[in-house]
């Protein structure tokens, strides 16, 4: 436990520094945000949405933004920055930073419109002051794809990290972005983050983000926590993939003979975590458990030759995995 806490402190120490300025839109924060945006080095996709079919389901990938994460020796507890750069280069990615795009998915199936995760809502930057972190573009891309946020009936949440949930509330006034949606999520995840004693149990460096997450979650209406691996909407079943967070959940879509595994952050940056499934990331709350879930899910999608989406896979976040030595290689699909 103590090693977990010290790893967590490392991640969120930058967040503490930022909190000194306040998360209130003060001048420093606004100026800093503008600077980050100006320095985004990865171009956005020309079209920020991509539609494809899985059986009768129509799936739309929505580009939400990108985190160009500066290298940090604490990123993996058992891999160096040099090894990280080597793995990025092997996947044909820049080694200047870790490229972490954010993609969310809308599934239309059996007459339902279901959103899988909600992106960062342009509200995550302040917690990552050392990196470019742009988010919140999925709403414009959703509208460009002809989907009205009011038509979203169900939102499935993979886990409560800010790049997946802050987009549920409007920036500034915390209004509901999807006023008519029911939010379905893992009971374990909900219990962990809503426990009133959580903040007090965390090291000071991690408290501001935990507090913000708790504030955000308290404002959600119409929340349905699920204990098991239920079929939460017709055609989509929860798959438990804990470790990254206590209740991290993937979504298995099946229509006719076709399947899609919407894997959230189970193998978040495949060039690193799928190629080296034994690397324990600082954002994996329980590294060994995250590794077990990752291997189990990847073994399954390889065996079943299943199409897989990931929140941080290279845009449009879609591909198939193959066994590659001791790890797994993602073949990105343009659909
Ligand atoms: Zn994430």
Average pLDDT over residues 239-259: 97
- Name which residue leads in pLDDT, 94 or 209: 94
249 alpha-carbon distance from chain centroid: 11
Whether pLDDT at 38 is above 70: no
Q: Which residues contact 66 (CB under 8 A, 6 or more apart)?
A: 40, 42, 44, 99, 100, 101, 102, 132, 133, 134
Average pLDDT over residues 228-237: 97
CA of 251 to the centre of ligand 1 (A): 15
Q: How confident is the model at residue 247 (pLDDT cuts 50, 70, 90)?
A: very high
Whether pLDDT at 10 is above 60: no
As residues whose CB is below 5 A from the ion ligand 1, the structure lists 163, 265
Residue-level pLDDT at 300: 98
CA of 196 to the centre of ligand 1 (A): 24
Average pLDDT over residues 205-226: 89
CA of 69 to the centre of ligand 1 (A): 12
CA of 46 to the centre of ligand 1 (A): 23
Whether pLDDT at 68 is above 90: yes
**DSSP letters for 8-56:** HHHHHHHHHHHHHH-SS--HHHHHHHHHHHHT--SPPPSSSEEEEEETT
Domains identified in the chain and CATH numbers: 2-243 (3.60.15.10)
CA of 217 to the centre of ligand 1 (A): 17
- Name which residue leads in pLDDT, 175 or 24: 175
Cα 324 to Cα 136: distance, rounded to the nearest angstrom:
34
CA distances from 228 to 187, 239, 286 (A): 8, 8, 20
Query: pLDDT, tens digit, for every residue of 284-295?
Result: 999 999 999 999
Whether pLDDT at 32 is above 90: no
- Name which residue leads in pLDDT, 57 or 26: 57
DSSP SS3 for 267:
coil
Which position has the token pair 């010290």?
6
CA of 103 to the centre of ligand 1 (A): 9
Q: How confident is the model at residue 76 (pLDDT cuts 50, 70, 90)?
A: very high
Whether pLDDT at 268 is above 90: yes
CA of 206 to the centre of ligand 1 (A): 17
Q: What is the largest CA-CA distance in the chain?
A: 54
Whether pLDDT at 33 is above 60: no
CA of 161 to the centre of ligand 1 (A): 6
Report the chain's mean pLDDT, rounded to a whole number. 89
CA of 147 to the centre of ligand 1 (A): 23
């Amino acid at each position: 436990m103590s090693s977990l806490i010290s790893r967590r402190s490392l991640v969120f120490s930058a967040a503490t520094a930022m909190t000194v300025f306040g998360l209130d839109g003060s001048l420093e924060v606004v100026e800093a945000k503008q600077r980050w945006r100006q320095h985004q080095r990865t171009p956005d996709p020309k079209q920020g949405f991509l539609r494809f079919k899985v059986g009768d389901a129509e799936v739309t990938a929505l580009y939400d933004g990108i985190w160009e994460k500066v290298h940090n020796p604490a990123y993996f507890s058992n891999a160096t920055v040099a090894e990280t750069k080597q793995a990025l280069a092997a996947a044909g990615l820049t080694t200047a930073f870790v490229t972490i795009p954010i993609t969310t998915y809308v599934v239309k199936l059996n007459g339902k419109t279901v959103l899988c995760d909600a992106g960062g809502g342009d509200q995550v930057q302040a917690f990552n002051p050392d990196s470019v972190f742009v988010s919140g573009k999925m709403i414009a891309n959703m509208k460009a794809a002809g989907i009205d946020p009011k038509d979203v009936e169900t939102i499935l949440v993979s886990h409560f990290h800010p790049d997946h949930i802050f987009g549920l509330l409007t920036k500034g006034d915390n209004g509901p972005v999807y006023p008519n949606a029911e939010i379905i999520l893992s009971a374990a995840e909900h219990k962990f983050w809503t426990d009133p004693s959580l903040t007090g149990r965390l090291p000071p460096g991690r408290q501001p983000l935990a507090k913000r997450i708790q504030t955000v979650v308290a404002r959600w209406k119409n929340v349905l926590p699920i204990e098991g691996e239920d079929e939460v909407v017709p055609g989509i079943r929860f798959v438990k993939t804990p470790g990254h967070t206590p209740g991290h959940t993937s979504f298995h879509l099946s229509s006719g003979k076709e399947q899609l595994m919407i894997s959230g952050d189970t193998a978040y940056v495949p060039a690193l975590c799928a190629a080296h499934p034994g690397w324990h990331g600082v954002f994996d709350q329980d590294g060994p458990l995250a590794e077990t879930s990752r291997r189990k899910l990847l073994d399954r999608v390889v065996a079943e030759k299943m199409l897989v989406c990931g929140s941080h896979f290279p845009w449009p976040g879609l591909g198939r995995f193959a066994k590659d030595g001791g790890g797994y290689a993602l073949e990105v699909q343009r659909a």
